[in-house]
Amino acid sequence: MREVTRAIVLWCPDWPVIAARQHLELPEDVPLALVEKGVVFACSAAARADGVKRGLRMREAQARCPQLEVVPYDPVLDERAFDPVLTAIEQIAPGVQPVRPGTCVLRARGPARYYGGEEQAAAELLRCLDGLSLTEARIGVADGPYAAEQAARSTGGERVRIIPPGGSPGFLAPRPIAQLGLTDLTPLLRRLGLHTLGDLAALDRVDVRERFGERGEHAHDLASGMDSAGVVPRTPPKQLDRAIEFEPPLDRVDQVTFAVRGTAEQFTAGLTKAGLVCTALRVEVTDESGRTSERTWLHPRLFSAADVVDRVRWQLQGSGPTDSGLASPIARVALAPEAVDDIGHHEDGLWGGGADERIHHGLTRVQSMIGHDAVLTATIGGGRALADRQVLVPWGDRPVGVPSADRPWPGSLPAPAPSTVFEVPRPVAVLSPSGETVEVTDRGEVTAPIAAFSATGAARDAKPVDSWAGPWPVRERWWDASLARAMHRFQLVDADGTAWLLALTGTAWFAEARYD
């Protein structure tokens, strides 16, 4: 016999919407939709009332609800906003296991014995959640975490549903087979005539395992109310955040950065004590009026105390694209590690850090003196034009919002890439045997063979052409008149043996790059 744990599941409906609304400080009556890859990931009750639902394309959702507030879905925000909820629950019922943001599970035995029963324990947990303004939270109690979660999601008009011990199989039997969440297995089970969990539970467990393997066996256990998954309490994370408050608020950048230095040292010392280093730092600056400037800073290696102070100063000076600078006196500065790594991965080698370490310290020093955006490093982005692929980012940052070079780019230049790319395309002359400028017709054909080429754009400097290839048409953003671009590309080798990448826009010829 497999042992089944009596479990309590707390479920917060529409948790991604709740987290986003709290972060953006939006009223509850504002229709809100979280979008991921152009599709609605989650939406509020006000949005659902107008016909918006999960899986709908963003344009169709906005057509159904013109006043819809569209926000990109942020899974990191989900987890960060749910952490205070877990902490509050642990104050009254230790041993919480997070299932996903918005859902957690506890062993029922401890809280039930402490508060005098499962119903009393559920009521105490609801009071805790109500104190966090989570008045829509639901609780389910049943044999096994799976049955308890299904009970929490089917409370009806109540906020608590308790399935008596031994009643989980009967409770689960009429529920649809799709609630197992096995998207690849569900269609096959339906074709076999298994439409409910009870239909699957009625089969022999050994037969199910032989036909569907371990996943099928696990699904049979869930449908039978024999979920043997235990509750593994989380280990509360170490308090790595640091904050400093100013009374009275400080109105000068140098005063704030000087005061933050000690907090930055405590922040890095706490990470070192925990055997960690910070690779992504979140800085929250709050002014005396309550407005908050928040930004995540990245680092190629790890943040030292001096690096942390530099980031605070740059954020106060408004050097980033999303910060407005020091508009009013600062009342509070908070430091939080957005991403950490084991300190053993960043130890110096036997003979020191090497040349890369010296380069990093040198560039960081220059950056601290002349500004965050003054030292840039090149990275390769995605795009069809060579100029679009050249992306400059501040030293130490990772490119954000840059199209990926790994995606397919139809019409892009195949390898090998030119070694010299002109920052501004150079005007050139491409001539026919009769000395006229070569053009491309609407049917994509050249008006005459290419016979001469001038790198200066002057016909008198034209030299014979050894070979050429093209045209290759490129047409981008034809639906947007302000960003539309159409051109024809050519590759050409002149009499000196130099290869060029040329582009014809209308009747004007330009050299994009040179193959050295």
Instruction: Calculate mean pLDDT across residues 296-301.
Output: 79
Per-residue model confidence as pLDDT tens digits over 464-480:
999 998 898 888 877 87
Cis peptide before 416 (omega within 30 of 0): yes
Instruction: Calculate mean pLDDT across residues 484-511.
Output: 88
Burial class from Cβ neighbours inside 10 Å (0-12, 13-18, 19+) for residue 307 reads buried
Smallest CA-to-CA distance from 455 within 432, 435, 425, 433 is with 425
**472-to-25, 241, 414, 429, 444 alpha-carbon distances in Å:** 50, 55, 12, 18, 8
Q: Is pLDDT of 236 > 70?
A: no
**SS3 state of residue 459:** helix
Q: Cα(44)–Cα(32) distance, rounded to whole angstroms?
A: 5
Give the pLDDT confidence score for residue 482 in this predicted structure.
78
Where helices occur in 322-478 by DSSP H, the ranges are 355-370, 386-389
Give the pLDDT confidence score for residue 218 in this predicted structure.
87
Give the pLDDT confidence score for residue 263 in this predicted structure.
93
DSSP letter for 140, please: E
Q: Cα(118)–Cα(243) distance, rounded to whole angstroms?
A: 39
What tokens appear for 117 in the block? 């029963």
Helix (H) or strand (E) holding 102: none
pLDDT band at residue 357 using 50, 70 and 90 as cut-offs: low
Q: Is pLDDT of 352 > 60?
A: no
pLDDT band at residue 350 using 50, 70 and 90 as cut-offs: low
Burial class from Cβ neighbours inside 10 Å (0-12, 13-18, 19+) for residue 415 reads exposed
Helix (H) or strand (E) holding 16: helix 15-24
CA torsion sign for 373, 376, 382, 384 is positive
What tokens appear for 481 in the block? 């008149």
**SS3 state of residue 335:** strand
How big is the chain by its Cα radius of gyration, in Å?
Answer: 31
394: left (phi over 0), alpha (psi -120 to 50) or beta: beta
**490-to-59, 162, 430, 437, 476 alpha-carbon distances in Å:** 38, 73, 11, 14, 17
Q: Is pLDDT of 386 > 80?
A: no
> Percentage of the chain with pLDDT > 70?
91
Burial class from Cβ neighbours inside 10 Å (0-12, 13-18, 19+) for residue 417 reads middle
DSSP letter for 177, please: G
Q: Is pLDDT of 3 > 90?
A: no
pLDDT band at residue 16 using 50, 70 and 90 as cut-offs: very high
Q: Is the distance from CB of 121 to CB of 111 less than 8 angstroms?
A: yes
Query: What is the residue-averaged pLDDT of the chain?
Result: 85
Per-residue model confidence as pLDDT tens digits over 152-209:
998 878 899 999 998 999 999 999 988 888 878 888 888 888 899 999 989 988 888 8
What tokens appear for 263 in the block? 């907090």
Q: Is pLDDT of 509 > 60?
A: yes
Instruction: Calculate mean pLDDT across residues 109-119.
Output: 92
Instruction: Calculate mean pLDDT across residues 414-428.
Output: 84
Instruction: Calculate mean pLDDT across residues 1-21.
Output: 88
Planar angle of CA 22, 23, 29, nearest 5 degrees = 45
CA torsion sign for 185, 191, 196, 197 is negative
**SS3 state of residue 340:** strand
User: In sequence order, what are the residues at sequence separation of 6 or more whose Cβ sits closer than 8 angstroms to the Cβ of residue 206?
Assistant: none
**End-to-end CA gap in the chain:** 75
Q: Cα(245)–Cα(264) distance, rounded to whole angstroms?
A: 13
Give the pLDDT confidence score for residue 384 in this predicted structure.
72
CA torsion sign for 64, 65, 68, 73 is negative
Structure-model confidence comparison of residues 390 and 302, the more confident one: 302
Instruction: Name the least confident of 414-418, 419-423, 503-507, 509-513.
Output: 414-418
Q: Which residue has the tokens 């032989």?
A: 210
Structure-model confidence comparison of residues 351 and 433, the more confident one: 433
Per-residue model confidence as pLDDT tens digits over 124-135:
999 999 998 898
Q: Is pLDDT of 355 > 60?
A: no
Long-range contacts of 157-161 (CB under 8 A, 24+ apart): 159/126, 160/119, 160/122, 160/123, 160/126
Structure-model confidence comparison of residues 395 and 136, the more confident one: 136
Q: Cα(179)–Cα(196) distance, rounded to whole angstroms?
A: 9
Q: Cα(137)–Cα(88) distance, rounded to whole angstroms?
A: 14
166: left (phi over 0), alpha (psi -120 to 50) or beta: left
Partners of 328 in the beta sheet?
none
Instruction: Calculate mean pLDDT across residues 22-48.
Output: 90
Instruction: Tell me the pTM.
Output: 0.57
Give the pLDDT confidence score for residue 323 in this predicted structure.
40
What tokens appear for 90 in the block? 């642990």
Burial class from Cβ neighbours inside 10 Å (0-12, 13-18, 19+) for residue 84 reads exposed
